[in-house]
Amino acid sequence: MLITFLNLFFGLLSGHRILLTLYQKKLIQKQTMTKIGTAYAVLTLIFVIHAGKNQTFAWFGVFFALILLNQVQLLLQYSRRKHFRREFLHLLNLVVLKMKAGRGLSHAIIQSKESFDPFFQNKISEIYNVVCFSQHFDFKNTDLFLIEAINELKKAHQSKQNSLQRIIIFRQKLKIEEDFRHRSRLITQQTRIQLYILCVFFISLLIYVVSQFGIKQNSSLILSSTALFLIGFVACIFIGRKKTWKV
Amino acid sequence: MEGLSPPLHLCMEIRIGIENGDSMQTTIDRYLMNNPTVFGQFVQKWYFMYKQGRSTSDFLNSLESQYRQTLLEVVEGGLNGQPILKLITELETEIMQATKDELDADLKLLPLKLLLPLLLFQFPAFLLLLFGPLLSTILKEFTL
């Protein structure tokens, strides 16, 4: 009983910390944090209550929910980063349009900001303050792309004569990068889709086998099968990620 | 995995630097600051040798990729004061094509590569989980 309680307590605590990190990184809003947190706590509680005296199942339940939460974090980080590059390119398109219509760079940024969602509007405001008012910005934990974008906009802001030209050249570079990113994403996408589908099948089958035949009687079978599956999983990720350019 | 191949990235940076009116030194310094990659480290060593006035031809010959070697030779010409914008633009087109070809070749090979872990590990894992408990139950029934 005590072990189950401690397992549940530390599981929930870890989940809370992951959610706090998500909130601090501005990946989710406070309301979303409460919703996800409640869903996570309910899911974990259901697992632990359903497990009863079966310690293994309780541990599995708590860690499964934690892994799920961690995956949400990775997914959000990835989608925000991916989203940011695309949105930034869109911002540059609008800025170039406004500048061609005779606006200054800072005015063009402020006017273009209105077309984006609140999360990205905040980001643009931060960039605007750094570029136009040289406000302090913590570059330590920042994405290399954001640093490059800020530096480029700063230079364009400083060079009044050819600021539009600089932004057009930067936009062209980003478009080429985006095109190549899309091409290489096709490689990782295929791997990822295959892995997700296989994972769903494997977990479903695992739950079926455990519920039908019991975990203790087939522990060695389940362990060896899971190990084999994980080796294949890691190998697939390795194949999808490893890219040494020959060019 | 990054979308751009390292020489294409350098080539684009140099071209953009020249088009923006930056000096070659400033452009290379900026590239080195933002690229702590393996190729970035190679360029750093090469640039250090160049600044010391040492011959870089042997060092560049150690590169396996002809694209990288040619690119750095052209950049060295630019550092020596030669006009290289036209050359760099043409090189960029060539390197871009080579990068696209390499990515396409990888995409064609991918299904075959992914089949290996599937057949060697994941398929047996499924079989083991699917038929293992059934077989052990049948075997137990027979022994009884």
A195-217 burial code (b ≥16 CB/10 A, e <16): beebeeebeebbeebbeebeeee
* Angstrom distance (rounded) from CA A2 to CA A178: 53
Q: Does B33 touch chain A (CB under 8 A)?
A: no
CB-closest option in B98, B102, B121 to A232: B121
Q: Where are the domains of chain A?
A: 88-178, 179-247
Taking the mean position of all CA atoms in its chain, how far away is CA A37? Answer: 18
pLDDT confidence of residue B144: 65
The 10s digit of each residue's pLDDT in A101-121 is 888 899 999 999 888 877 778
Question: What's the pLDDT score for residue B69?
Answer: 93
A175 shares contact with chain B (CB less than 8 Å): no
CB–CB of B125 and A225 under 8 A? yes
Domain boundaries, chain B: 6-107
**Measuring CA to CA, which residue among A42, A41, A43, A46 is closest to residue A12?**
A41
Cβ count near A101 (within 10 Å):
9
Which residues from B are below 8 Å from A219, CB to CB? none
Q: Is the Cα torsion angle B92, B95, B101, B104 positive or negative in sign?
A: negative
Q: What is the pLDDT of residue A44?
A: 82
Q: Do B65 and A226 touch (CB under 8 A)?
A: no
All residue ranges of chain A with pLDDT < 70 are 26, 137-142, 242
Helix axes A144-158, A163-213, angle to 10 degrees: 170
pLDDT at B65: 92
Note the pLDDT of residue B106. Answer: 84
What's residue A202's pLDDT?
93
Q: What does the alpha-carbon distance between residue A180 and residue A157 come to, in Å, rounded to a whole number? A: 28
Can you list the residues of chain B whose pLDDT is less than 70?
Answer: 1-2, 144
A99 contacts A108 by C-beta, under 8 angstroms: yes
Of A166, A209, A243, the CB nearest to B129: A209
The burial class, CB within 10 Å (0-12 / 13-18 / 19+), for B11 is buried
Q: What's the pLDDT at B2?
A: 61
CA of B118 vs chain A CAs: smallest distance (Å): 6
